[in-house]
Structure 1
Amino acid sequence: MVNSQNISVNSSFTAQELIENHLIEGCVEVSNITSSANGGINNLNSFGYFERDLSNFPFENGIMLSTGDAQSGGNTINNNPLNDGEMSWGPDLDLETALGISNTLNATNIEFDFISSSNLIQFNYILASEEYFGNFPCDYSDGFAFLIKKKDSEDPYTNIALIPGTTIPVNTNTIHDEIVGFCDAANNTYFDGYSMGDTNYNGRTTVLTASATISPNIQYHIKLVIADQTDENYDSAVFIQGNSFNPTVDLGPDVNSCEDSHIIDADLGNPLAIYAWYQNGSLLPLETNSTLEVIESGTYSVEISIPLENINCVIEEDIVVTLNNIENISPLDNYELCDTNGDNSEIFDLNSIDDSAIASLGIGNYSVAYFNSFIDAQNNENSISAPMTNISNPQIIHVSLTNNDNGCVVFTTLTLIVNDIPNIINPSPIEVCDDGIIDGSTIFDLTNNDSEITQGNSELSVTYHFTEEEANNGTNAIPQPYVNTYPSEILFVRVINQETGCFTTTTINLIVNTPPVLELETPAIINACDQSDSFYADFDLQEGISNLIDDLEDVLVSFHETELDAETGENAIFDTANYENIDPNTQIIYVRVESTDTGCATVFPLTLYVNFLKSHGIYNDVYECDDISGDGIENFNLTAIGNNVVKHLDDATVSFFENEFDMNANTNQLTGLYEVSSSPQTIFVKVETPECIYKTTIKLIISPPVILSPVDPIDYCDTNDDGFTAIDFTSINDYISANVDVSLKYFISEANALNNAYPLSNGWTNTSNPQTLYVRATIDGPATCFDVMPITINIIPAPTVITHQLDDIVICDDDQDG
């Protein structure tokens, strides 16, 4: 089951109650309501009133006639076959005569007389059946009909329960899906499905409408009848929508006409009818006839009032009328092509715009034709066979659109335009110099070439692509800036006119040139090796770097005082053979080595030294601390001093002398430990390399010693009586030394104190009592002289306060003043 909720069925109503209260709703007079055949013979109520309840049944309510117990069709869910009724429950002969069948039984009918105020009567219904099972619809069907004729007429009944647009009666044999292996589908458009879940029947039809054209104010007789055929098994039922048996007026389907006007006919054939017409909801007060001529498109409604006994019957209907009397519409969008050969002509496939031409009119079934003149279009003569080549630029084509449903013809125009492809210049190759990393790859901003290619035309847009196919399709444009992969590349250029969409393509060459390559293993320098005390010297720049560039060919070398000038090649130093430095002692200038073939250049710094030995030797005065004797005599290690002098000099030697004469004569060289007894002592220093020599002096200076005097153990108060406390070393500094120039640090061991390693922080807590520490006293200066001695600190426990309960003190108040 699709839905677990069934309709509710009440079979307690009489046939008259069902027709008067649940089928007829005004504008129809009914009488003589009877049921000559039903399940009463088997003590079954075979007709009843139903409501949708919580199910999804299409009708909210209505009446039903069945070939079994009406209540079995709904209410509780019943998955067993519905086989109510016995053989004793007989047939309906009118049904058999009307349908040309026999052997009916379990017939249920309700019939009545009626008079309608309209010439059209109709109601909605659904046929449901247990016969929708297996291959039964291929071979069996129960009988069912709505039979109508004029009252007391000898004419046969007419069945109005027919498949729409045919004379075929509605039953399970004439409406069903394909039953594979047994029979083809029959009118399956009107089959709703199996086991729909809102009744207990196996299947049902869609909502169908029964209608009959009658004469108003004439009495007719109608019989609603259904019956089993051949046997009493597999019951069927017809559900009729509540209050749907009504007279109506048929204005016909909505109108879409190319005429200037249209007649709407609402004639009921009833002389008592009063007609009121509305256009788009507004009353047309002068229109009171049964017909209305409309000359404007819109929604038209008719309201027909008919006096009927004590009531005023009102019938309403509407129709949408569209008058297509427009002969011309706005021109179609231009049909534009790009000029591929520069002759202002192209082949236009007019058929390709049929759909867009039809779309300009909205939904409709149109044929499109093209003509060279409006007269040809009006006469439908000499249509253009597509494709065609334009004979002028632009060229106007006349278009006719014929509505195949109503013959309306609409005329418009189409302009054919051949647009020029962009006029461009093939770009010059882009040659750039490799960047700082010589790998043949660098950054290109290709957009810098756009203006050259387009000749400054702002209507043109340029993109760059890796393949010709991508350039033609306008796909995968290369993002900018672009980093090339190979030193020489060819890219494809697409230039498009954004307004016309026309484009052309070309190519552009990218070339990365390698600048001169220099082998600079160490920074380049020129050492003037000036022996004077001057800060300036003359330099032969070209000769100074000859060893770096001698192997290079086709290069131009220039020297510059700034790196920017070297990069741009501007402001080159004019006299390179006699260049005097402008910065004292040391100056950096920049060398530009430019290829005369490509113009690419390598720039590197060149350091100029007036005397390299002077600039890079360490010629500081040397200090030593006097020993504890304070006699002003100390030994200086000239080997260590010499090593420090040439620390930053390669291949340099150093010599020491007591006087300048010895130094110049290179005699009496001082070596090893040298005793100084008169401080400061000036000695002469000579530093030599294979290329240069430098002479100067340094001073050997003896600093006075730092001496600590032994101190007695120091008592330090505990904050409690456990013998351990945080020691404030600043509080004992004055006890150690009163010299304000001395800085004191405290250490846990003598080795730490000697090495000035791991000093104790202020507030350190002792680990033993008494505690031995080592104090280091230092006078900061060039020599950093110090002394170390041990000290002992005794931690004195704090006094213990003993508290006990004291007796209360009582004093007598002699004068009672409190």
Structure 2
Amino acid sequence: MKKTLLLLFGLFFIAGNSQQYITVTSKSADDLVKKFIGVNNASCITFSNATVKGWQDYASTEPFSYGYFEKGTLPFAIDKGIILSTGSAQKAPGPNTSLLSDGAYNWLGDLDLANAFQTSPTKYINATSLEFDFIANNTTEISFEYMLLSEEYQKSGCAYFDSFAFLIRQDGDPYYNNIALVPGTNQPVSSQTVRGGTDCPRNPMYFDRFNYLPDSPRVDSPTNFDGQTKVLTAKTNIIPGQKYHIKLVIADYDTTSHDSAVFLKAGSFAGKKNLGPDLLITTDNAICEGITKDLDATTPGATSYKWYKEGILLPLETNAILKLSGLPGSSGNYQVEVDLAGCILKGSIKVEIQPKAVVNYGTYEFCDEKLNGKIPIDFNDLSTRVINDFNPTFLPKYYLDEDDARYDTGIPLPDDWVLTADTEIYVRVESSLGCLPEYGKFKLIIGKKTPLIKNTFTATPICDRERSGSVVLDLNKYTKEFTSNTTIAPLFFATPADARNNKNPILADQTLSSASHTFGIRVQNGTDCANVGEITIIKKTPNESSILRDDSICGIAKTTLDAGAGFDYYKWSTGEEGILESSISNVGIGDYWVDLSSNGCVYRQFVKITAAEIPRITNVEVSGNTATVFVNGGQPAYQYSLDSKIDQDFTNSNIFQNISRGLHTMYARDKNKCELSEFQFLILNLINVITPNGDGKNDFLDYSDLSIKKDVKIEIYNRYGNQVFISQKPPYIWDGKMNGQPLTTGTYWYILNWIEPATNSPVTYKGWVLLKNRD
């Protein structure tokens, strides 16, 4: 319902004021070319062989697809001209209330257009073209203005490119050149190569507007097309007096729906008057300020001249030559129209004025950044400060002598010139354009350094209290020694030389490992130059007692802690302190410390007194009647005693010899003598011969002494490895028999195994015995 009301309103609006939209009338081919060339160009551009081809050529009953248009009261960028359409030209006027989808598939495309777009000829249909020959006698360039309008300017048109081409070729040349291109590119103009909006935009700067609102028509659109480009210009160089052929052609792409049209401005097919190259600073041919420059449009046979600046007529300028005064306000775009008795040539030129160098003849301050009294001057940088609006065409030179600057004599100061004292400098500013030079005097001075309270500072030594080899520094806390300005954020450097060179700044948090180090600090307030100071920091390390060591004592015993001499002061954790309090006595088990003062520092040394570990006899090795004692734990040196706890019976040797057969007890103690460790062992009667003859002498192999051990086992083997006897129960005696029968005389091997009760360690003893039996 809404669309119907809007359409009725649009029709009513049309009836009320039919001249607000464009109007289209049919014209012949000659009439269209005449309108296109225009009255002003008729005498300088002659044409012939005009032909036009469109819809009615394929179906005579169909309306014309070309014509002549004039705009109505609604704004339209082209006042009048010719229209070439892919549908009915008569349906082009607004409002935009319907979809233009005229044409038919038997209305063919155009081969030359397809070649211009490098596309298959079968892709284009519904082509309309205007062709003619022309000769231009007074110009080396022609141009024309046009707009492309299309129903493809909607989302569905992204894949289509209804296309237009301006094809031109010199007489006799078989190949066309398409000059209807997107400005600044080699892309032919189509509904796809120039698009605005957010859907598939391309070259949107050349798109003008959409002529519809979402879901509603636009009754204020002067045409019935959905969108349009801005006014575009096509131009090309030609040879005066030479014949050329032109073909203007537009066609639908792939489908007959969604028509497009090109609107060509009447009279825009104009010739060119060459005013020469643009006069620009960047191309070194601008006009010098104060120098008059002639813009010459002289053309033989001209009857009048009109000059414009930025498109605005200069009413007093009617001569062939326009004299520019060279004032800064003279910069701009200038145009000229040359009337050759009805033939209008147009020319344009861009003009820039090279202003005189404005030199600030004042005083320029430089900081001695390296604080060595030498400041290298970068004259390139200085030029941008000394010369207002400095640009690359200015060629400044610097001298110490005024006459050298005035007359350009002598040798200019080089870029590596060094300022060592306040100095007057003369500058001569020339121009690459040959403009008159400027010269004058200014002064270079060495800037004042930021004041410092002191230049060097040696900090109170920092103690390495932990004797770790390094101390952590915060250099920020020394800033107040150099300046009282709390707004200054200093820079710190590993060396004063780095600070002077402003090279490799470091963080304020630093670790000092060497005995001393000198850092650099660089400070600068908001008005003065930088200044540099030096911070020397000394690291001191306190001494450590070499004799105070952790110790152990018997559980209830007391001992003395002694740090030794050589310290300035002692303070013990027990409360004793003083210059001579190097030791404390009557100390029991516990943790203690002492603060030892030396080298101006204090080192807190810790010491631990623990309960002494009780030594333990781990083994007594017996070889015959010799015993060797092994002790573990406690603190050496150990002392040993056999079968006695009496103090005087202890010895330092762990080897005991000539021990009698039988059970013995070994005692051991460490240096603390806190508690005795004891170990029972057995000296066996080693028997190598038995004669079981009943005489009471050596009748048995008797190891009954092993009954004090655990898990005792005796095994006896003959020389062939056969077991002849085994016993795992007391009394561990062998009588030379096997199963009650005497064995033959010979050598037998025995193995003794047991577990030591005190240590639960296994013991193996191997030996041999000679058995003598009567046969």
Quick check: TM above 0.5? no
TM-score by length of 1: 0.41
TM-score by length of 2: 0.43
